[in-house]
Structure 1
Amino acid sequence: MTRPLRFLALALCCWLLPWLAHAQVQASLDRSTAQLGDTVTLNLRSQTAPLAAPDLSPLSADFEVLGKSSGSTTSFVNGQRTVEYSYGVALRPLHQGTLRIPPLTVGNETTQPLTLEVTAPSATGQAATGPVFVEAAIDPSHAYVGQQLSLSVKLYYTANLANASLGDPRIDGVDVSRIGGDTDYQAERNGRIYNVIERRYVLVPQRAGELTIPPIPFQGDLLDPNDPDSFLGMGAPVSAQSRPLSVMINAAPSDWGSAAWLPARKLSLTLDGLPDAATPLRVGQPFNLTLSMEATGLPFEALPSLSLPALDGATAYPDKPVTGNRADGPWVVGRRQQAFAIVPGKAGTLTVPAITVKWWNVLTGRAETATVPEHQFTVLSASGAPAPVVTPPATAGSSAPAATSSPAVVAEGNSAPARSLPWSWIALGSLGLWLVTVLLGVVWWRRRASRPAPIATAGSTATLSAREAKQAFLRAVREADVTEQAHRLLAWARTERPALRHLDAVSAALASSEQHAAIDALQRARYATSAHAPDRQALAAAFASGFAWRSEASPPAGQEPLPPLYPFTLR
């Protein structure tokens, strides 16, 4: 390998090492309980990198390793591509009891420990003598209204089957859905090896009381390899069914209150995209926040819609929500995600209040609260004139020229350290900065000359008359996009009231409800990506006769400048 290639490989490894160091490997079992002789699958998953073969020696005391497999799955959700790498290990428990799967080493990662409840084999009459039988199990044995139950249906058979049909459960007052695909493995019952097909269902009861799960039927033809008719698919008809099951369903606690009833195994609430608290925001300059909720044991349909609390001094424009379900072993994991564009409307301190969601932990049997803490940000006024350049005071007898637009070097104390600098490099750097300044000035002048008419900005004087500004706005309504329309409308308003800095202030100073609605529709089209463009005719008609200004200087007491767009909040 040549030196450049070695250098490139070394640089690539240095770039990949921090990324691989944060790879997360998740371990799960395909079930939490099993009978002695059953085969269970240990699944290892990662969404960052392919998985290396794990060290399985810690399992030898409690399990027999029957086989291994690996693969990857690619999915597209809301236009985003996700690749999940998996590694499966088929295990057979060696004894009854609570068996522990210790942390396993996978590459540089360590998985979390897991437990498996292993019970004695079922001793039904069918299992002892029949070539085909069906078993059903429900987890947990008691639950609440709206809580997910995991129903496992297993078909055991010893010979080939034809025309096989395993029925789905039909239960009045319960939402039933399949989760995952069928699982094939082998199990031992009363000294006999059976092939097993396992199917899992999600059950969500909708009312309290005793829930009875009727028998799950199976019908098919059992093919005998010694029977010549079996070659033509003419086997012996066979049928079987599982035993009925019953579960006690409890109602929500009487003191729960008016909050949404959310019985889950785990629930989290996060708020992403928060700006750096050390970096101030600007009035009229939007930023994005993303609120997410994820619950194990609840589908996304059972989760409430997400919204932000009312923001004092800002307006929130929601994007299209993102929802979905995924399987985590026998449990469904529901997720809701809602993005918002936040537009500050006034200078000062912007507070995003704390967001709380009350939920019921079905594992501990008590109420808990998921919370996003309060956040505060500093909002400055709209961008105006640039900050003045600080230059050192001139000393007596100094012949240095006055400060120009070029950056100045500020010396602290005396100027002795500056004399030791390489003046030739400083001169070259100053020349380069001057050339960049000239180039930027030429680009700015050409862009300004290409514009049809100047627009007044914060901190500058208007260069258009009210009549010219109105005509420019109406022309933008006919020909330009919503951003240009908003700029032209603000420029026109400032020819009559120069103190107005943004459209929210313009709306607050107007008395016409029609003009309020027109500005609100224009703002929605600017910041809400899923919104449609406003009606151009309605926008032009609203301001055809000019601005309907309020007679008083400020809105009446108790009335907000802009009513909150989405007043509802999670509690």
Structure 2
Amino acid sequence: MALPAQAQVNVSLDRYSIAPADTVQLTLEVDQRAAQRPDFSPLTRDFHFLGSKQMTVSSHSNGNNQYTTRWRVLLRPRHSGELQIPPLQINNEQSTPLLLSVAGDKSSTAAINRDSFLESNVDTSELYINSQLLYSQRLYHRAELPPMANFSEPLIEHANTIALGETNRYSTQLKGETYQVIEKNYAIFPEQTGQLTIPAATFSAGPGIAELQSEAFSIDVLPQANQKKKGYWLPSSQVSITDNWQRPDTITPATPITRQITISATGLPAAALPALMPLRNELASIEVTDVSLSQEYSSKGVISSRTETILITPLERGEITLPEIRIPWWNITKDRAEQSIINPIILRVEAGSKLTSGQTQAAEATPPLTSEITATDGSALSSSKTVVTSAHEDLNQQTVPAQPAPDNSHFLIWLLTAIAVISALGWLYSYAALRRLKQQLDTDGSQTVEEEVELSAILPQHFSDDDDFNYDAAELLKVELAERDAFQAALSACEQNMALEARLLMLEWGRQFWPEIEINSSIDLSDICNSKTLDLLLIDMENHIDGTETDYWSGDLLAEALDKIREKQLSKRFELS
């Protein structure tokens, strides 16, 4: 289908006068979604074609969606002179030609005939916020550098700059001369939208010697793309998930199972990777025992990973359903939303008694390709590794297009109803169980004073000696696990930056931790904790929920504050016991 008019195909250069060794960036724009890639072959007559990048920019105005498809092409001239950017064909239209002036041999030779010169490069002039920009500095020199020589480091405001490994040193040939090269490479992650300025790199050989200076760069930083599935923002060229297991063939209550989940991303720092494993389950205790972050550096920039080691302990016989893990991310290469997924897993727990550490065997086990994992009888242990990744080039990798977000109102109604029902049933069950235990223990007097003191410390204060109750370890363990699971669920919501879910789960944890106090809002929780830090964090959370604050909410500080408050409260209870 032809474009409406030729005037809607626009081309421009970032510079119109360069030296022969420089690069120039050509931008071609079409004010709609393009049906096909432009034909760039006419450029190769006068230029080296160094690569291209496509991006679709969308905007909403007067009730209409408007789209612009943009190509960025990096070129280096084959010779000096007045070079023409020829008309480029896209669909049935052509762009207008442009002229580029490339300095002649005289000025070029004068620059290269010096003992040293400095150049710098970026891989793009436009990118999304928090995505990776590759920046390099190269010093070419023929003479030995003096001891006081100094190579500047990039100081860039509103950006996270990471040096990519050690400084590279090598030799190269230019105009028949051998030059020694000192090369430094960086990954830059802009932290706000608008114009990002990379100042000129400088090299000083010492006092009284003129400095060498490269060009400065101005980079356009775009806001987050419009993702249908809301959540964290992960702009990357590739994201993958690895799922490893260690468990016995036969799963029984109290038998520990180890799961290790790793998310890897190209072009993101490790600190930007999200938490993975949901920690709330009615039939199992789930605990993250270790979180490991790592970063590696290559020609593609930063390659990072986050590995979570999770201990799953079944509490009773039945089927434990571990929900799917769905990681939405933005493919900056194809400029579209994608998701990496681990399917739901079912663990079948057979009847049996609690095993001691000497009886527990652990080994790697293979989850089937289906979403159900069934433990069967037998002594042999098997091992495997399940990988789900979003790279399209690998047929074994799985990429799922972003799905429309569900109706939030139905989800909230379901979540509130579920919390209310679970809380009511839980306290009715606890009350009945404790009454039965009191009657039983009053007759046999089997529990020691030492056990009462130790276990009462982990309970809320109204469950201590004031009610003249006695408990056994099994029932106390259930109460403790219920509170811990609720707390872990609240922390997980905070770490995944889900403000509304964090508030609901945080209040549910508060009701379990202080059951003698009525907690219906963040204000109630703030009054109990008496923490100014928590007060400010709760106000910030509420402002994001009601829309007063429209920027991105980060819950890591709230999670840290809640963890400190809980730890302090538990310490007090142990002292009182």
Smaller-chain TM-score bracket = 0.3 to 0.5
Give the TM-score taking structure 2 as reference length: 0.47
Bigger radius of gyration among the two: 1
Choose between structure 1 and 2: higher helix proportion: 2
Q: Give TM-score scaled by structure 1 length.
A: 0.47
